[in-house]
Amino acid sequence: MLIDLHCHTWPRSACSALEPLELARLAAERGLDGICLTEHDRAWAPDELEALRAAAPIAIFHAVELTTDLGHILAFGLPAAAFSASAREVAAAAVEAGALLFLAHPARDGLLRVTRETVEFFVSVEAANGSDSRLQNIAAAGLAKGFRLPGIGGSDAHTAAEVGRAATRFAGRPTSDADLLEALRSGAYEALLLD
């Protein structure tokens, strides 16, 4: 099952030009089975998420991309009450909630800020990012090998042209956010750049 684990939609991510349903339709056309909404620093309201899921042609998952002092973090399974700009606070909350943290686009800027101690906050990194360069993705994929879980992949789409450029292929077929978290925890997936 192919899921794009990094997408931004308007208006919840002000920098995105993609309406949620448009994103879902484009992702379906381009062969994806699901997308995970990762807006910047904010969660979707549960009722709005439910309405989108009912209308979308593919599976919709929900996580977040947090802007922190260690760079951008993709957080899966983290309650909105724990969103913070302090990576240390986010990491403590993730342990408590059983959430998983991946350092986003690590070769763009993030890893430079991570120390021997704070690298422990992350189970892995984003190894394939559709908005990064080929060299940045090669570097990120190399970095992912140093972590306990494989790297993830996502388009980081903000516009129609970027939809479907990268994704994560799962061995299983997650159908809920809880399933997705378990699938990530299992390590049975791989990051892919698509074209």
Here the tokens at position 58 are 């593919």
CB of 72 to Zn ion, least distance (A): 3
Half-sphere exposure of 120 (CA within 13 A, CB side): 6
CB of 34 to Zn ion, least distance (A): 17
Selected binder of Zn ion within 156, 163, 170, 180 (CB under 5 A): 156
Partner residues linked to 39 by β-bridges: 64
Residues 5-64 close enough to bind Zn ion by CB under 5 A: none
| Residues 23, 32: Cα–Cα separation, whole Å | 11
Contact (Cβ atoms closer than 8 angstroms) between residue 76 and residue 63: yes
Q: How far apart are the first and last CA of the chain?
A: 17
Contact (Cβ atoms closer than 8 angstroms) between residue 181 and residue 100: yes
For Zn ion, give the closer residue by CB, 1 or 39: 39
Q: Which stretch binds Zn ion (CB under 5 A): 44-52, 55-63, 148-156, 169-177?
A: 148-156
66 makes contact with Zn ion (CB under 5 A): no
72 makes contact with Zn ion (CB under 5 A): yes
Q: What angle do CA 102, 70, 127 make, to 5 degrees?
A: 35
Q: Which stretch binds Zn ion (CB under 5 A): 70-78, 111-119, 140-148, 167-175?
A: 70-78
CB of 190 to Zn ion, least distance (A): 20
| Residues 70, 9: Cα–Cα separation, whole Å | 23
Closest residue to Zn ion in the complex (CB): 72
For Zn ion, give the closer residue by CB, 94 or 155: 155
Contact (Cβ atoms closer than 8 angstroms) between residue 48 and residue 21: no
Q: Tell me the number of residues near Zn ion by CB under 5 A.
A: 4
4 makes contact with Zn ion (CB under 5 A): no
Q: What secondary structure letter does DSSP report for 122? A: -
| Residues 77, 31: Cα–Cα separation, whole Å | 25
Q: Which stretch binds Zn ion (CB under 5 A): 16-24, 65-73, 122-130, 174-182?
A: 65-73
104 makes contact with Zn ion (CB under 5 A): yes
Q: Which stretch binds Zn ion (CB under 5 A): 48-56, 89-97, 152-160, 165-173?
A: 152-160
* Positions in the binding site for Zn ion (CB under 5 A): 65, 72, 104, 156
